[in-house]
A and B are shown apart, each in its own frame.
Chain A
Amino acid sequence: MADQPTPTDAGGTGTAGGSAQSNRSRSGGHVPRLVGIWAAISLVGDLLFWFLAGPHIPPGTMTSAAGGAQFDFNVLFIIAVPVVVAVWVYMGYALFTWRASRVPGGPEVRRQFQRGHTGVQAWFIGTTTVIVMGLFIFGTAELIIPAGAGGGEGPNPIWTPTSGTVLPVQVIAQQWKFSYRYPTFGGFETDQLYLPDNTTIAFHVTSLDVIHDFWAYQLGVKADANPQQDNVAYTTTSQLGSFTVRCDELCGLWHGSMFNYGKVVSKTAFEQWASRTEAALAANTKNLPAFSWTYVPDANGADGSYYPDNVDPYSKVETYGAQKVTFK
């Protein structure tokens, strides 16, 4: 072995607090030095992050939910930097300062720090507890005040937006596509997702077969699409532009290509688009099932009550036993 222990290794320096400590301060000046290095690096890191990276952190500021997620991420990062830097600086310092080749005798640690120290331990536990409780209070406030922060809140949200006008949009997920119904415009269904600017949107997410997840990335909205469940997520748009919708829960073969795009347009453009589409799709809408917050799938997945019997060859066909599937 490269560094066999010296005879003094096991013996140490004799009694605790012996000659090794007599000619230096209590901590050997290590603590002030460590705190100085830590504070400097943490401060620089935090400032650089907050001003250079912070404004560009996804998902951006296209909606209230996105802005909230970005703000939360940045705050957590600001707290994380000093924590990570503390551990790294300490470990780097310790590994350099107390590596075996620089410690001729045994370890110079004083007796009362050898096996633990109530003060140090209480300080560590206290500090982490304060950080954690602070994060909890912060996270809860950030969840409740913006009405669920863009996450799926189930069928009966307890945190609802204060805004008087809310545009409901139903998101219907099925293998492997998203489509959208606008109940306030006659319930037409389309695979185009248009949203008005400066408006609070209530996404009602549901599925016709397996579990999917509606992730409107730039909107900061994410909600699972469960069969026979209405999962509501709120956000308020604040910028024009297009956004990506991806399925974020593994839903089978073509999960990887289950995505489309949406647009936030001005209120007047939205009204025009919605009225035009409602008229253009009127014939189709008549064939759709009556608008409902959930639809019952059947044994064939996305079939069930959604497609009316007269247009769907699979309706009422169950595949129990050896029964053959017959096509009309």
Chain B
Amino acid sequence: MTVTDTVPSGGAAQVVRRRPAWLEQNLLTAAVGAVGGYLFGHWVGNMIAGGYININGASGQNDIAVCLGLGIAVFGWLLGIGALNYPLAKIIGLDPAQEMPRESWTRYLKFSTDHKVVGIQYLFSVFLFLFTAGLLAMAIRSELLSPTSHLFGPGTYIAVVGEHGTMMMMMASSLVVGPLGNYLVPLMIGSRRTAFPRIEATSLWLFTAGYLVILTALPLGGFPTGWTGYAPLQTEAGAGMDAYLAGFAVIGLGMILAGFNLIATIIHYRAPGMTWSRLPIFVWSILATSALLTLATPTLVAAGLFGILDRTAQTAFYVTERGGSSFLWQNLFWFFGHPEVYIMALPGFGIVGEMLPVFTRRPLFGYRVAAAGMFGVALLSFFVWQHHLFQSGINPDMRPLFMLTTELISIPTGFIYLVTLGTLWKAKIRFEVPMLFALGMLFNFLIGGVTGVFLSDVPVNVTVHGSFFVMAHFHYTIMGGLVFAFFGAIYYWTPKITGRMLDRRLGKIHFWTMFLFFNMTFFPLFIVGILGQPRRVFEYAPNLQVWNDVSSIGAFLLGASFLIFVANFVWTIIIEPRKAPDNPWDSYGLEWQTATPVPFYNFERIPVILNDPYHYNEPEAQPVADIVLTGEPRPAAAVSAGPVDPADRGLSEGDGSE
């Protein structure tokens, strides 16, 4: 299907139908679809394989029924929300219904092809993920308050650990690409939409379905493998494992679709004049991330399906004693898993690179190096996965090679520091809340990155592999890096997205508490790791209790710092809105040059891009585009906004309104 297929031909003559409100599909119908789908799938599973016991005898549940239930539940969820209306109508030869977009807030509870609505839906979905998994994290830290007395039984504890890890990984893989990538990329490249709006919306609803599927792991008994799901433990585990495998497969499908849509958008929907060398660095990071999402995630989906087949259809992909190999899962999982790590790092670099020029009032230093570095990281990330398996006995003679690639990847990763240090040089630095988060990200990520080099050294890896040292390392990169950058981005772009301003003082309190307690939580874990505490244990040596307790108290306080953010968000955005200036940070970015809140069609007229968005401190430079609505007046911005050219609009068939 080509893009032009979806553009309505005779716009004026088209009749736009609108269903009565009570017939419209929304979250409620989606929930009905999911529950109905699960019950139906479970029933079918019991019909075709009644009395069947798990191949390896541990779960005592009918895995065929559980897997079919989960699969059909996801299908029912998509059907209920209306994601399948268009393809189904096409299949049976009907003209797909044209839906008027609604202006009401209820559009956020429905299937929408507007990238801005999808972005906000993604935002609330990742918050749901983040806060659910954050509560589980505090449960883990509660258990680890004492080396020997227990809050949970061992089964509950590993179920909580696995659930926390899996949910956080799922969340982090879409944390920036989902909300900010979808919302901002079209605005930053001067487009009115993304390339495949229905695919974009479907990726969101798969993401939310993934949340529900992975949540069912808890009532199904949890899974004992942690987020890495190693076979053969995976094959012998209870029915919660089905939710893990199905959940990752569903999330993976959503990731592939989201990445695919954004790649097509960035390549094909740039406004005239938006050359590759003018592309905002955030868009470069989303492009590199999307390439990883599209190329790495299929391995995860395939590996998950193999696991499901092993557990239901008695195949033996991972069953050693039947000719499979437990190494196969490790290889497939980490072949996805290591690019995944950079899926969770690159968007953070993009956010920091995007905010630095604004808060230093000078151009980004080393723009080309930064963009090239992201692609260097993306490429190399496919060649490092076996460093997770240094002690596994797989290809031990390859360890020097993987040590080399792992250490090489720190060169392009280090470019973010080249860019930062260069941009700070003789700048004019403003300590606004987003800038604080960017600086916090740089502080944390440095610790995360340097400890990664320790892990890449095989002799040191012998001690730290699989210990809390690894755990602290990747929390420093993902939480300290990506999540800090993400919150910076929330403070930075909320005025654009909502037209309202988050409170600055509460924002600063949020930053300082989060920064302090993040380090208080995770720095001690480096110490307990190197002192010999393995990951995912509920009992540890008594001499490690002090550091564990410091970490636990830090974790509770870190949780409290998120409440400051929630209070700030709810109060200043919803309860007592404070109108934001049109361009509160005086950014030259294209996304700030259109009206706030962003109109349905983004730009009244497709802008012609004249410059990159980083020409601060360059008085003779052209403005970013031939529209400049906000910020200080620019001499060359004299072109007035003309009438909307219908041929220019490029709206999908779902967009009948003016």
Binding site for B on A (CB under 8 A): 1, 3, 5, 9-12, 14, 28, 57-59, 65, 68-69, 71-73, 76, 80, 83-84, 87-88, 90-91, 94-95, 98-100, 103, 106-110, 113-117, 120-121, 124-125, 128-129, 132, 135-136, 138-140, 142-144, 146, 148-155, 157-158, 205, 209-211, 213, 215, 217, 220-224, 226-229, 231-232, 244, 246-257, 296-301, 304, 319-323, 325
Contacts and interface: CB of A to CB of B under 8 A. Distances in A.
A273 B230 CA distance: 38
Given A148-B396, A210-B233, A256-B538, A115 B365 contact: yes
23 contacts: A1-B584, A12-B617, A73-B454, A80-B453, A94-B421, A95-B429, A99-B431, A107-B427, A115-B363, A116-B368, A116-B422, A125-B369, A128-B410, A151-B461, A154-B393, A154-B396, A217-B532, A246-B532, A248-B465, A248-B466, A254-B154, A256-B158, A320-B314
Contact of B154 (A69, A80, A253): A253
Contacts of B111: none
A10 B391 contact: no
Contacts of B466: 213, 215, 222, 248-249
B537 A256 contact: yes
A138 B618 CA distance: 46
A138 B407 CA distance: 12
B421 A108 contact: no
B270 interface: no
Contacts of B532: 58-59, 217, 244, 246
Given A256-B536, A299-B57, 17 more contacts: A1-B584, A65-B459, A76-B457, A76-B460, A91-B421, A107-B427, A109-B362, A116-B368, A121-B366, A136-B404, A142-B457, A152-B393, A228-B320, A229-B393, A257-B537, A321-B51, A322-B53
A254 B52 CA distance: 27
Contact of A299 (B55, B396, B467): B55
Interface string B383-408: 00000011111111101100110011
Interface in B604-658: 614, 616-619, 632
B86 interface: no
A139 B395 contact: no
Interface in B432-463: 432, 439, 442-443, 446-447, 450, 453-454, 456-463
B321 A298 contact: yes
Contacts of A125: 369, 411, 418
A222 B365 CA distance: 44
Contacts of A222: 391, 462-463, 465-466
Interface in B12-67: 51-57
Contacts of A297: 320-321
Given A58-B531, A296-B321, A142 B154 contact: no
B427 A98 contact: yes
A100 B429 contact: yes
B364 interface: yes
Contacts of A91: 420-421, 424, 439, 442-443
A94 B428 CA distance: 10
Given A98-B428, A128-B411, A151 B457 contact: no
A59 to B, nearest CB: 5
Contacts of A228: 320-321
Given A76-B454, A84-B450, A94 B424 contact: yes
Contact of A140 (B395, B403, B453): B403
Contact of A158 (B396, B538, B616): B396
Contacts, number: 331
A132 B326 contact: no
B361 interface: yes
A45 to B, nearest CB: 13
Contact of A109 (B426, B439, B453, B619): B426
Interface string B224-241: 111010101100110000
A298 B367 CA distance: 57
A17 B482 CA distance: 37
B450 A132 contact: no
Contacts of A250: 158, 224-226, 228, 230, 233, 535-536
B52 A322 contact: yes
Contacts of B361: 5, 9, 106-107
A321 B426 contact: no
B462 A150 contact: yes
A211 B154 contact: no
A231 B462 CA distance: 14
Contacts of A211: 230, 232-233, 326
B388 to A, nearest CB: 11
Contact of B459 (A120, A149, A157, A227): A149
Contact of A143 (B228, B458, B536): B458
Contacts of A120: 422
Contacts of B586: 5, 9
B233 A107 contact: no
Chain A at the B interface: SS class: mixed
A160 to B, nearest CB: 12
A257 B461 contact: no
B131 interface: no
A106 B619 CA distance: 11
Contacts of B57: 299-300, 319, 325
Nearest to B56: A299
A154 B394 contact: yes
Contacts of B408: 132
Contact of A253 (B224, B390, B399, B459): B224
Nearest to B370: A116
A80 B616 CA distance: 34
Q: Top 9 nearest A-B pairs by Cβ distance?
A: A231-B393, A319-B57, A256-B537, A256-B538, A109-B426, A94-B424, A149-B459, A248-B466, A210-B233
Contacts of A84: 446-447, 450
A319 B393 contact: no
B119 interface: no
B425 A224 contact: no
A170 B426 CA distance: 63
A135 B453 contact: yes
Contacts of A71: 459
Interface in B515-551: 530-532, 534-539, 541
Contacts of B414: 124, 128
Contacts of A146: 459
Given A116-B367, A256-B536, A108 B426 contact: yes
A124 B394 CA distance: 35
A223 B393 contact: yes
A12 B154 CA distance: 63
Contacts of A320: 53, 55, 314
Contacts of A150: 459, 462
B600 interface: no
